[in-house]
């Protein structure tokens, strides 16, 4: 059975506000869409089953037209979206991992490592460089607590988790500094094509 890669996505058009000083609304939309599409491509290559969870009609329409499984978010915010996706996976008899779509340097090898551990029923925590949580898997339901320093809170809620630290999982894009750093990395050169 495949492992469900739960992808909570707030919006392509309304997200990444902290990049507004550097990117126009249209550029932020293109970047958000491209990062999500790239994550889906890498996840599928790693034999994960992407599941998009969103309250945004545009995101759900993108998931449908792309042929992805999707779930309308009924709660409010990232914690509830993650919980709804994990619950759907467990009710479907699947292991799950929560993956965030703002990982521009992610590669198939990163996700193969996550998939292998999750499929074997292990808890997985992949922190972002700023202390957030890029990927999270658990064989049982947990209480999600995203936001500043979420990796520490999630670590305390997982039973003997495997900690994964790779460039692709550590480097998310929340700030202009993150974006510039990603664009300078060899694996992030594709971003320039999206933004020009």
- Residue spans of the domains in the chain: they are 3-195
Give the pLDDT of residue 70: 97
Which pLDDT score is estimated for 101?
95
User: For residues 158 and 148, what is the distance between their CA atoms, to the nearest angstrom?
Assistant: 18
Q: Tell how many helices (H) and how many strands (E) occur in the chain.
A: 8, 7
pLDDT at residue 86, rounded to an integer: 98
| pLDDT of 38 | 97
pTM: 0.95
Q: Which CATH class is domain 3-195?
A: alpha beta
**98 class by beta-carbon count within 10 Å (0-12 exposed, 13-18 middle, 19+ buried):** buried
pLDDT value, residue 190: 97
Per-residue confidence (pLDDT) for residue 1, from 0 to 100: 80
Q: What is the pLDDT of residue 15?
A: 79
Residues of the chain falling short of pLDDT 50? none
């Amino acid at each position: 059975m495949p492992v469900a890669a739960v992808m909570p996505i707030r919006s392509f058009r309304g997200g990444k506000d902290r990049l507004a000083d550097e990117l126009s609304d249209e550029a932020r939309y293109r970047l958000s869409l491209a990062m999500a599409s790239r994550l889906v491509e890498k996840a599928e290559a790693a034999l994960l089953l992407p599941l998009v969870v969103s309250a945004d009609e545009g995101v759900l329409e993108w998931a449908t037209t792309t042929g992805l499984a999707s779930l309308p978010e009924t709660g409010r915010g990232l914690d509830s979206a993650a919980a709804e996706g994990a619950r759907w996976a467990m009710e479907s008899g699947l292991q799950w991992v929560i993956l965030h779509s703002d990982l521009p340097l992610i590669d198939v090898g990163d996700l193969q490592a996550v998939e292998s551990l999750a499929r074997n029923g292990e808890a997985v925590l992949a922190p972002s460089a700023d202390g957030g949580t890029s990927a999270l898997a658990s064989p049982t339901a947990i209480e999600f607590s995203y936001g500043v320093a979420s990796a520490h809170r999630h670590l305390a809620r997982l039973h003997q988790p495997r900690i994964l630290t790779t460039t692709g999982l550590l480097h998310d894009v929340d700030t202009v500094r993150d974006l510039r750093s990603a664009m300078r990395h060899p694996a992030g050169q594709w971003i320039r094509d999206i933004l020009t």
